[in-house]
Amino acid sequence: MLALTALPSLIATDLDGTLLRADGSISERTQLALKRARAAGVELVMVTGRPARHVANIDGVADFGGVVICVNGALIYDLDHDRVVQEVRLSGALACELVLALRRELPGVCFAVEVGLEYGWESSYGRQRKRTESPPLPIADALVLCERGVNKLIARHAELPTEQLIRRAREVLADRATVSFSGAPFVEIGSRNASKAFALAAYCAERKIERARVLSFGDMPNDLPMLEWAGHSVAMANAHASVLSTATETTRSNEEDGVAWMIEGLLSRYAPQMAR
């Protein structure tokens, strides 16, 4: 693990519960700390379970530009040009197989999908949503929605607690897919070849950035692959127990600007001219 005896070459940070406050904003303090880190030569990459459309709508995120690793590593999105750079999908056949397996074992389960920059859901899933946005894909059975393959298959259940749904989904799907949890009341299912770690490792390899020089921040179980891969990892004080036990160290909570607090300390030590 990196002992942080110098500034990292790259900072990889989750968004919800990590970089963002509970209201979904990036605080002025955090924005300033990120800008100072970039001015000191540190590259910034946001790595999130969110779809690209939700990232693009965050106030202030356009100021950082570049690419964002979205949908738990299944889609790389170019903020500057509003386009998909790369994506990994569950095949249509496999996605349908997973839907049928979960329906058989967990009656009442319902689904939504992320497909490139599009998304859609079954009518039963839509009734459980708090948001009123209309999906660009027709409201249809999951087997129809999965025909083109999916970056992410989302499963929720009106009666099963989320932790139980995660456990059961992992038992049912076994090694056919990756089952993750980001804090929302549903399970996220993706390709075995897609994770925050896979996507970040490929990004760094293309730019010849050593793993040991990567600093990562996260708070939920879907961040674990990235935190385990990075040379130095930081859990938020508000993080899930599994993240707190895995990360190299812990910073303040997202509400207390924990990412900014950590970056400010690094700049003060290793680039004092950028600390103010």
Instruction: List pLDDT tens digits, range 18-47.
Output: 999 999 999 999 999 999 999 999 999 999
String of DSSP letters for 180-212 = E--SSSSEEEE-TT--HHHHHHHHHHHTT--GG
178 forms bridges with which residues in the sheet? 190
CB burial of residue 259 (10 Å; 0-12, 13-18, 19+)? buried
pLDDT per residue of the chain (276 residues) written in tens, 0 to 9: 456 788 999 999 999 999 999 999 999 999 999 999 999 999 999 999 999 999 988 998 888 888 999 999 999 999 999 899 999 999 999 999 999 999 999 999 999 999 999 999 999 998 877 666 678 899 999 999 999 999 999 999 999 999 999 999 999 999 999 999 898 899 999 999 999 999 999 999 999 999 999 999 999 999 999 999 999 999 999 999 999 999 999 999 999 999 999 999 999 999 887 766
Give me the half-sphere count of Cα atoms (radius 13 Å) on the Cβ side of residue 231.
18
CATH class of segment(s) 92-190: alpha beta
Rounded to whole angstroms, the Cα distance separating 81 from 27 reads 25
CATH superfamily of 10-87+194-274: HAD superfamily/HAD-like (3.40.50.1000)
Residue type, 116: G
Return the DSSP state at 209.
-
Residue ranges of the domains in the chain?
10-87+194-274, 92-190
- Measured between alpha carbons, how far is 195 from 179 in angstroms, rounded to an integer? 10
Lookup: tokens for 164: 């139980």
Q: What are phi and psi of 75, to 5 degrees?
A: -150, 130
